[in-house]
Structure 1
Amino acid sequence: MLLHELLDFFGRAICHQLEERSLQISGETLSVCARDTGIYIGIFSSLTYLHFTKRKSKITIPTIKVSFFLLLLMVPMMVDGLGSYLHFFESDNIKRLVSGTSFGFVLPYFLYPLLSLKSLENDSKPVVKGIRDLIVPMILSVFISVVVYWGMVPYYVINSFIIVTIIIWFSMFASGLFQWVHSLRLRRIISTFIGLCLLIFLSNLHLWLL
C-alpha cells in the first residue's frame, strides 16, 4: 500500500529498520525499530506537555540540578545500546523501547526553550518549575509505550503517529534557522518543508548506502 511505503520511506531516514529489533502490530512491522519508537514516544510526550503549558511563558533550559537528573535518564539507552553492540549482553525490544523512551523524554526540555526567543530575556524562568513538569509527561510516555507495545490501537495509527512525530521533531530543528522570520505561520511552513527535505535526503542516502 502507498501509505505503508510512505511510512517506511520516512522511517528509513533515521533507522536501520531491522525487523527483529522492531515492534510488530497485528503482524505488521513498525517503520522504525523499538529503540527509535521509544525515543519518539518520549519526545512526543514531553514536547506536547511543554507546548501546551509553556508556550506563552518566558522559559530557559533547566537548572543544573534538574539537568543532571534529566541526563541520568539518558544513561539507560547508552548502556543498553553500547552493551548490546559490544556483545556484553543481549538486549530485547522491551528494553530498547523503555530505554529509548527515557532518552527521548529528555530532549525537548533542552531544545524547546532554546527555540524560543524569550529564553534570551533576563527574567526567563527554568522550563521545569516543579515535579509536575516531569511527572505528567512521564506518565503520558509510559501510557503511550504500553499502548504501542501491546498493540492496543491499529498498526497504521501507531506507525503514522511515530512518523509524524519524527517529521515534527526535524521541523523544530529546522525552525531554529528561521527565527528571523516574524510570521509564525510562514516560519512553520518553511521549517516543515526543510524538515521534510532533510528526511527525504537521509532516506535516499540510506538506500544508496545499502
Structure 2
Amino acid sequence: MAIFDFFGSAVCHQMAERSFIFGGMPLPVCARCTGIYSGIFFSMLFFFIYGRHKGNKPYSTWGTIIGACSFIPISIDGFFSYMGFWESNQFLRVVTGALAGASLPGFLLLGANFDVVGENTWPIFKSVKEQLLLIGATLLWGILLWLNVGNYLLPSVVVVLGIVCFWANFIYLVIKNLGVNGKLPYWLLAFCGSCIIILSIGVLRN
C-alpha cells in the first residue's frame, strides 16, 4: 500500500529483492529493516505497557553484555556482505535486524532518563530474563515472517509504528538532555516530531 511504502521510504532503500513478499506485495522496508523496526516497536510496546519508558537505572553487567552483543551480528553481516566477502540472505538480515532493533530502545531510554545527580532506581528491565524474552519474541516474529507466515497488513503496521518509535526515541533523547522544562509532554512532542521528520523525508524522497 502506498501509505506504508511512503513511511518505509524515510528509512530504507526498499529493494524488492531484499524484502519479504506477502500477497504479491513487498513489505514497506527490506528484510533487515523489517527486523530492526519490528524490534523497536515490540520493545517500545513493552516499555509503555509496563511503565519502563521512565526507566533510568543502568543495566546489570549481564544486561549490558547482552544488549551490546545484540549489535555484533548485524555489524558483521552488514559489513562483510557489503565488502563482498559473502552474500547475505533474508534469514540473516531479519534475524540480525531483530536482535539490534529489540536492544536499541532500552539504551536510548537510559540515555534520556538517567539522572547524573539524582537516584536512578527505575529499571528498564527488572531482570535479564525479561530482556531475553523480549529479544526472543522479536526473533520468533522475524523467523515467522521469513517462513512467510501471516499477511501483508500486520507486519506493515508493525514496521511503520516501529519507524515512528525510532525517530521519537531520538527526539526524546535530545529534548530530555537539553534540559527542557520538565513539565512538558516529552513523549507527545517526540512522537509529533517523529511524524514531521518522516513526512519531510518521505516527501523529499518521493
Relative to the length of structure 1, the TM-score reads: 0.83
Does structure 2 conserve the Cα–Cα contact (< 8 Å) formed by 1:61 and 1:109?
no
C-alpha distance in 1, partners of 2:68/2:98? 13
- Alignment match, 1:25: 22
Does structure 2 conserve the Cα–Cα contact (< 8 Å) formed by 1:62 and 1:109?
no
C-alpha distance in 1, partners of 2:69/2:150? 31
Higher mean displacement: 79-88 or 187-196: 187-196
Give the 3 Å change call, closer, same or farther, for CA 120–156 of structure 1 in structure 2: farther
Give the 3 Å change call, closer, same or farther, for CA 111–27 of structure 1 in structure 2: same
How many positions carry a matched residue from both structures? 202
Deviation at 1:41, TM superposition (A): 1.8
- Alignment match, 2:196: 197
C-alpha distance in 2, partners of 1:65/1:139? 16
Matched, 1:89 2:86: yes
State the one-letter code of the partner of 2:26.
Answer: T
Deviation at 1:116, TM superposition (A): 3.1
- Alignment match, 2:181: 180
Percent of pairs identical after alignment?
24
Deviation at 1:72, TM superposition (A): 1.4
Higher mean displacement: 117-126 or 30-39: 117-126
Mark the runs of 5 or more structure 2 residues left unpaired by the alignment.
Answer: none
1:1-210 mapped onto 2 (5 Å cutoff):
4-55=1-52, 59-116=56-113, 121-124=118-121, 127-176=124-173, 177=175, 180=181, 182-184=183-185, 187-207=186-206
State the one-letter code of the partner of 2:49.
Answer: F
C-alpha distance in 1, partners of 2:45/2:90? 25
State the one-letter code of the partner of 1:196.
Answer: C
Relative to the length of structure 2, the TM-score reads: 0.85
- Cα deviation, 1:111-166, whole Å, max 9, x if unaligned, reads 12333366863242553442222222123212322332233332122212211221
Mark the runs of 5 or more structure 1 residues left unpaired by the alignment.
Answer: none
Does structure 2 conserve the Cα–Cα contact (< 8 Å) formed by 1:40 and 1:165?
yes
C-alpha distance in 2, partners of 1:52/1:88? 42
